[in-house]
Every structure is written in structure tokens, then in C-alpha cells.
Structure 1
Amino acid sequence: MEIAHRRVATVHFTLSDDSGQRITTTHGHDPLVYMHGTGTIIQGLEQALEGRQAGDRFSVDIPPERGFGPRHDGLVQRLPRSTFTGRGIPAVGEKLRAQTEKGPLDVVVTAIDADSITVDGNNPLAGRPLHAEVEVVAVRVATPQEIQFGL
């Protein structure tokens, strides 16, 4: 059976960056189980899985626009330290939830100096080309409950 829209695929993968540095892997853990065609995995990987079958192994290069998108400079902001007076000064690397005009946004503190704190709302993988090594473990038809409610 081939991976197609609304079929459930089980895959193992290793995701690396351009330099070959491993970002994440399912090996040694449970494989990824997802419903194909629902946008729950990055577009480049989902497109590469289309039509594959259990037992297939392949590599795919994923450009940023089909991965986690481009970096947006507008999502990086320097804020006055006084913005954080009520709860103390966060540490570099700390994740915070910011309120924006478009709703909540998860940000990471990337720098702190005497006057300001820099936060970044980009996904850490935004703007980065990715490489995936993939093994299709299984493919099956989704149940009516999975189609209605998701996995």
C-alpha cells in the first residue's frame, strides 16, 4: 500500500542540517505516526513520502521554504529591560510567550545587555536547509475515527 492522502504512515527518520549535524532522530525511540495530507509534518518531507511503501528507504533535501520557512527579521526584537520588571530578568535560552497584535507568539531570549533583552520568535530551524534519511515502516488506511478526530 502506498502513502497517499488520509493514509496513516509510520516512519523512522533522522533530520540533519547542511553541515551534517543531527538535529533529531526517531531511531532508538518510537517512530513517527502521522496521517498523510493533513499538514502535520513539514511540507518537504510529506511531499517526499507521497507514493512510498513500507520498506522504502530514501534521502531527501528540504529547502527552507518547504521546511520551517524563511527567517523573518521582524520576529527578532530588542526590548527594554524594564519590560520584564514584574517577573525578573529571563535567562538567555529561556522560552517566553509574547502577546502580539496577531495573538500569542512563543519567543526565545537570545541576548541580554545592560539596557535591553533580545527575543526571537522564529522557529530555530527557520531559514535552514535540512536533510532527512527516511525509512517507511508501515502504511495503512486511516480509521473513520482518525479521519474525523485526527491521530
Structure 2
Amino acid sequence: MKIERNRVVAIQYTLKDDAGTVIDSSEGKDPLRYLHGNNNLIPGLEKALEGHEAGKQLQVKVPPEEGYGPRAQEMVQEVPKNLFENEKIEVGMQFQVQGEDGIHILTIAEIRDDVVIVDGNHPLAGANLNFDVTVVSVREASPEEIAHGHVH
């Protein structure tokens, strides 16, 4: 059975950056299961998997435009340090903020005397994503999975 819209796909994967450093992997874990064609994977990986069958092994390079997008400098902002009140903050910490268009995750990129530099970009924005993928299985989705847009 080929991978196409509204099929449940299970994959094993390893994600590396351009230097070959492993960023994430399903190795030693259950395969990642997702409902194909429902925006449950980054677009570039989903597009590369389309039409393949169980057993297929692929190496996929996803550019930023088909991954987490290019880095947007406007997503990096200085905020007054006193907004964090007396909380212990350090570089790399993440927190959620409510915006007009929903919840955003910000990462503390730098701490100066009286300001904190926060970055709203996804940590992998601007990066090429290099996947080694094995398609484990492909099956028809249930009507309930299709209605909900994800695997049950």
C-alpha cells in the first residue's frame, strides 16, 4: 500500500543537521505514526514520503522553507529583565506567551544587565533537516482518525 492522503504511516527516522550531528531519532523507540496529508509532519518530509511503501528507506534533505521556515529576525526581541520578576532565568530556557494569534514558545537567547533577548523562532528555523527514514507500515485510516486529523 502506497503512502497517500489519509493513510496512517509509521516511520523510523534519524534527523541530523548539516554537520551530521543527530538532533532527534526514533531509534530504540516505537515508530512515529502519523496521518499522511494532514499537516502532522513538516511539509518537505511529508512530500518526500508520498507514494512510497513499507520497507522503503530514504535519505531526505529538507530545506528551511519546507521545514521550520527561515529565521525571522523580527522574532528576536529585547524585553525588560524586570518582566521576569524574581524568577531564575538562564540562556536556553523556554516559556510560553499568549499572543493575538495563539500561544508562542520563546527561548531566552541572551541575558544582559537589564534586558533579556528572547527568540520566537523555532530552534530549527533556518536549518537544513537531513532525515534517514524507513517506512515501517502504511494502512488505511479509520473514519474517526480522518475526522480528527490524527492517529488514534
| TM-score, length of structure 1 as denominator length | 0.94
- Cα deviation, 1:74-95, whole Å, max 9, x if unaligned, reads 111111112222x524222111
The superposition leaves residues 95-150 of structure 1 with CA deviations (integer Å, 9 ceiling, x where unpaired) of: 11223343431101111111211111100000001110010000000011111123
Distance in 1, matches of 2:82 and 2:101, equals 23
Query: Which amino acid is 1:69 matched to?
Result: G
Q: In 2, distance between residues paired with 1:17 and 1:8?
A: 27
Deviations 1:1-42 (A, max 9, x none): 000010011110111111111110111111110010001100
- The 8 Å contact of residues 2 and 139 in structure 1, kept in 2 or not, is answered as yes
Q: Could you say which residue in structure 2 is the equivalent of 1:35?
A: 35
Moved over 4 A (4+): none
Name the SS for the 2:125 alignment partner. coil
SS in 2 for 1:40: coil
- Tell me the secondary structure at the aligned position of residue 82 of structure 2: helix
More deviation in 51-60 or 90-99? 90-99
Report whether the alignment pairs 1:84 with 2:84: yes
Partner of 2:145: 146
Q: Would you say how many aligned residue pairs link Structure 1 and Structure 2?
A: 150
Q: Which amino acid aligns with 2:75?
A: L
Superposed, which structure 2 residues align to 1:48-127 within 5 Å?
48-85=48-85, 87-127=86-126
Distance 2:116 2:88 in 1: 9
Q: CA separation of 1:58/1:104 partners in 2, compared to 1, >3 Å: closer, same or farther? A: closer
Q: Percent identity?
A: 43
Gaps of 5+ in 2: none
Gaps of 5+ in 1: none
Match of 1:133 in 2: 132
The alignment yields a C-alpha RMSD, in angstroms, of 1.2
